[in-house]
């Protein structure tokens, strides 16, 4: 889950030792696993129950983030287990190049219907990264197969401080200076990046939302002009910025303004909802709150709730029509595409979200989470900004609240908060993020509780968050 990996290598020694201690840091040369931090052994999770993860030493960790905003129903829902069992007894795998299967059909129909028919087909993959890669290839193919092909459309525009996946193609579209650095020379050269919508730091004190949005749209327009407007294939953006920038919802009118720029020049709009979609923000699709419909949309994390690896690309009717009249085939396929067991699991997860009426709960508990975070932390001298939507919230830390000066990256503040949370006396898991300002500076943690979370659990989360922050950053 590379979008929030802390860079332990950058931390001063004392903090590394502390972080390692909190992570149970026994060096384990017997392990066959290449851990993310190769010299450390992370906590070993042996079971999960509701919003808790349980380690082999019996520590019950409050999973306040569903991992990477994945386990939206919490852990161990027997109804999903049954759906998986049932599918296993029918068929566990068939190759999508030759066959379809009922589980994939059912899930795809559900997904298409859930958009009110605005997206007309689904391409089911096994990971969010794969869905993003598929969206980029689909966009290129679309322009090749228009009645008058536009093969010159080879450029993508995306946003700074964004995350779109970790393979070379998706990493090229994403933007995080630190994460890209090692691979910069092998990343695609046909991608450029415009500013994020980040009012806390980038909106001027005397600027209205309208002016700020207009300025961002102008920046996109200028980038189209710089590249040559008819050379741009697509603009790629997370509907709501996720772990890299830290839960930044789009300002009113922002995505609409960006889409207008794309339409003016005939480019596609790709919305990456891998993290923010499938209910996380209170509507099944995050774009439903924005008065825009994307041409291509990626979904993943909450789709299968972690019960199986699954993701998807949703495709707008006009793109499907173009390919149908063109070659009649998407020039892309994957071995585990439309995997029946994953599809059965995801379909059941989605039905549970409906049956248990969880989207209203996301909105209600999200409002409660927001209220409590503001009550407890607004006055903290090192909490600069609290922002989010639905059950997806970030707390940005600053060294100086007045000037918004961030902590030096070498202090690894977000990572220290995360590590402290995992200590037995706190037992809560966050998603830490750094580099949100410019790829190097900036610290935040994200919260993303399960959709079926309760008022009591929200209170417990905010209690623990507050204590951890006081522990690490003072009162």
Does 128 help bind ligand PLP (rule: CB under 6 A)?
yes
Site for ligand PLP contains 163 (CB under 6 A): yes
Residue in 240, 275, 281, 235 with CA at minimum distance from that of residue 258: 235
- Helix 13-22 with 413-421: angle, nearest 10 deg: 30
Per CB under 6 A, the segment of 36-44, 191-199, 236-244, 258-266 that binds ligand PLP is 236-244
> For residues 52-91, which are near ligand PLP according to CB under 6 A?
68
Q: Does 18 bind ligand PLP (CB under 6 A)?
A: no
Tokens of 240: 């709501």
Q: Closer CB to ligand PLP, residue 285 or residue 380?
A: 285
| Position 255 contacts ligand PLP (CB under 6 A) | no
Confirm or reject binding of residue 392 to ligand PLP (CB under 6 A): no
Complex with ligand PLP: residue 25 or 388, whichever CB lies closer? 388
Residue 165 within binding range of ligand PLP, rule CB under 6 A = yes
Which residue from 77, 133, 272, 295 is in contact with ligand PLP, where contact means CB under 6 A?
272
Nearest-approach distance from CB 170 to ligand PLP, in angstroms:
7
CB of 207 to ligand PLP, least distance (A): 27
Site membership for ligand PLP, residue 129 (CB under 6 A): yes
Instruction: For ligand PLP, give the closer residue by CB, 69 or 372.
Output: 69
- Under the binding rule (CB under 6 A), the answer on residue 253 touching ligand PLP is no
Residue 5 binding ligand PLP, by CB under 6 A: no
Least spacing, CB of residue 127 vs ligand PLP, in Å? 4
Closer Cβ to ligand PLP, 243 or 461, answer by number:
243
Q: Which of 160, 164, 280, 418 binds ligand PLP (CB under 6 A)?
A: 164
Neighbours of 342 (CB within 10 A): 26
Residue numbers at the binding site for ligand PLP (CB under 6 A)? 1, 3, 68, 127-129, 132, 163-165, 238, 242-243, 272, 274-275, 300, 311
């Amino acid at each position: 889950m590379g979008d929030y990996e802390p860079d332990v290598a950058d931390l001063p020694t004392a903090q590394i030792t502390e972080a390692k201690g909190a992570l149970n840091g026994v060096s384990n040369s017997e392990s066959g696993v290449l851990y993310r931090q190769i010299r450390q052994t992370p906590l070993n999770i042996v079971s999960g129950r509701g919003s808790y993860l349980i380690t082999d030493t019996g520590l019950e960790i409050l999973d306040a983030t569903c991992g990477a905003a994945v386990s939206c129903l919490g852990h161990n829902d027997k109804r999903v287990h049954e759906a998986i069992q049932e599918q296993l007894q029918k068929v566990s795998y068939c190759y999508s190049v030759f066959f379809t299967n009922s589980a994939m059909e059912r899930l795809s129909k559900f997904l298409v219907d859930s958009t009110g028919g605005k997206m007309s087909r689904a391409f089911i993959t096994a990971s969010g990264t794969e869905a993003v890669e598929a969206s980029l290839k689909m966009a290129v193919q679309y322009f090749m197969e228009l009645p008058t092909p536009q093969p010159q459309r080879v450029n993508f525009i995306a946003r700074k401080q964004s995350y779109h996946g970790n393979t070379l193609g998706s990493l090229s579209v994403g933007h995080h200076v630190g994460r890209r650095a090692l691979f910069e020379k092998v990343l695609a050269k046909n991608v450029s990046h415009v500013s994020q919508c980040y009012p806390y730091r980038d909106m001027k004190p005397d600027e209205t939302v309208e002016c700020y949005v207009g300025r961002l749209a102008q920046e996109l327009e200028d980038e189209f002009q710089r590249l040559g407007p008819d050379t741009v294939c697509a603009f790629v953006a997370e509907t709501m910025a996720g772990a890299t920038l830290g839960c930044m919802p789009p300002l009113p009118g922002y995505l609409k303004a960006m889409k207008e720029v794309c339409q003016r020049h005939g480019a596609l709009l790709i919305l990456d909802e891998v993290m923010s979609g499938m209910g996380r923000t209170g509507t099944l699709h995050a774009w439903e709150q924005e008065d825009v419909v994307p041409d291509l949309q990626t979904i993943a994390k909450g789709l299968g709730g972690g019960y199986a690896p699954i993701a998807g690309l949703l495709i707008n009717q006009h793109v499907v029509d173009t390919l149908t009249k063109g070659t009649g085939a998407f020039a892309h396929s994957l071995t585990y595409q439309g995997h029946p067991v994953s599809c059965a699991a995801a379909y059941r997860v989605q039905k549970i979200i409906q049956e248990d009426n969880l989207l209203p709960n996301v909105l209600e508990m999200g409002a409660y989470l927001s209220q409590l975070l503001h009550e407890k932390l607004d006055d903290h001298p090192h909490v600069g900004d609290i922002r989010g939507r639905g059950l997806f919230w970030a707390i940005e830390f600053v060294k100086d609240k007045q000037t918004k000066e961030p902590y030096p990256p070498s202090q690894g503040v977000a990572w220290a908060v995360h590590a402290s949370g995992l200590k037995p006396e706190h037992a809560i898991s966050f998603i830490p993020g750094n580099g949100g300002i410019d790829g190097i500076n900036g610290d935040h943690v994200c919260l993303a509780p399960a959709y079926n979370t309760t008022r009591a659990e929200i209170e417990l989360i905010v209690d623990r968050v507050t204590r951890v922050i006081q522990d690490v950053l003072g009162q």
